[in-house]
Amino acid sequence: MSGRGASPLLAVPTSKIPVVPLERALIRRAFSAVAATVAAGWLIVSVVIVIAAYVSTTDHSSGSVTTSAAAGTTSTAAGELRLGYFANVTHATAVVGVAHGDFAKALGTTKLTTQIYNAGPAEMTALLGGQLDAAYVGPSSALSAYAQSHGQALRIVAGATSGGAELVVRPGITSVADLKGKTLATPQKGNTQDVALRAWLKQNGLTANPDGTGDVSVNPQDNAATLDQFKAGHIDGAWLPEPWASRMVAEAGAKVLVDERSLWPGGQFATTNLVVSTDFLAAHPDTVKALIDGQIAANSWITANPAAAQTLVNDQLKALTGKALTDAEIARAFSEQTVTDDPLAATLQTSMDHAVATGLLKQTDLHGIFDLTLLNTELARDGRAAVSDAGLSSK
């Protein structure tokens, strides 16, 4: 996941997609639209049309945009789907979906363009700026984008991974008290593991403030840099997703201080979910349904073929990052997590509460963040039980 202000790790294909802040993207769109409309001599008519469209799709009593996939029955498949994900084991669903061909098969004639990121905040900036249509991302980053856009920009349409995150430290550190005065790393400020670390420290009486002050210094940075700096003795540990936690243990002698599964009821918590732009979901529900079909196929294949899945993911990690994991590392990384189509919606409010408690987000009404209509329709078609939205599907 990514260093502070980091750019995407690697683009697939090789052309890079720029990260544009939401505000700049919106301003550019507004000026472009006005200029084009004036040139055509239809300014007044266009404003009336835009307002009418907005009124027809907006619930002004709640500020929510109606984007239910069930309502988009007249939409056609998109010509292109731009998908973001990470070169991580916690994104095995996406890695396999691309490499095994499950996404391409399900999408049919829709072109799939992929972009690799190191962490969620940078990826969500791309989605908010209009450079991505869908993304595999951690819940904290999705929450941040949802809050920043006042609930307008995205919907969580499926899960992907539960588990797969640990706090790994130097062997001499045996308790939370030993962390006072130490320096720890996370993938990027405000990402899912960053929030988890800061919240856990606060719950245990230690501060790690967003401005860098506090009992523990948190240094958000690229995961590869974290491994190098730990080996060099510059940091004392890190809260990381897989495979980076396993690499820290196997390659650098780190020990596990906290397996995040131990902090959640039943050991279940969302590490990766599938989010889609609300505009794309409203315009192209058939394409989103196809993407979900591809995900279901990929996760089913991973579950049925664990050894082959580990080999395929490892081969793809080598192609995407230039380095393969050892057999022991890939096996350990897979053992720390579970692929799932369930977004574990009941855990999302807790993730929000953690971000609020650490000063990274303001409390936001989450009703409307999920749209599981398409997922549950496809699960039912396969004879599988529906997954819960925890009452957060509509405002």
pLDDT in tens, 290-322: 999 999 999 999 999 999 999 999 999 999 999
Q: Which CATH number fits domain 165-267: 3.40.1000.10, 3.40.190.10, 1.10.3470.10, 3.50.50.60?
A: 3.40.190.10
Whole-number Å distance between alpha carbons of 368 and 392: 5
Whole-number Å distance between alpha carbons of 123 and 144: 11
Q: Please state, rounded to an integer, the average pLDDT across all residues of the chain.
A: 85
Domain extent listing, the chain: 57-163+271-330+342-381, 165-267
Whole-number Å distance between alpha carbons of 271 and 165: 8
pLDDT at 74: 56
- 57-163+271-330+342-381 CATH: 3.40.190.10
pLDDT in tens, 313-365: 999 999 999 999 999 999 999 999 999 999 999 999 999 999 999 999 999 99
The percentage of residues in the chain with a pLDDT greater than 90, rounded to a whole number, is 80
pLDDT level of residue 212 (50, 70, 90 thresholds)? confident
Whole-number Å distance between alpha carbons of 159 and 272: 6
pLDDT at 76: 77
Mean pLDDT of 198-212: 95
Instruction: Of 54-58, 67-71, 179-183, give the lowest mean pLDDT range.
Output: 54-58
Whole-number Å distance between alpha carbons of 185 and 207: 15
> Starting from the edge strand earliest in sequence, which strands make up the sheet with 237-241, in order?
217-220, 183-186, 237-241, 165-169, 255-259
b/e burial code for range 85-104 (CB count within 10 A of at least 16 → b): bbbbbbbbbbbbbbbbebbe
pLDDT level of residue 245 (50, 70, 90 thresholds)? very high
Please say if the pLDDT value at position 70 is more than 90: no
**Comparing 57-163+271-330+342-381 with 165-267, is the CATH topology the same?**
yes
pLDDT level of residue 106 (50, 70, 90 thresholds)? very high
pLDDT at 373: 97
Please say if the pLDDT value at position 228 is more than 70: yes
pLDDT in tens, 113-149: 999 999 999 999 999 999 999 999 999 999 999 999 9
pLDDT at 20: 38
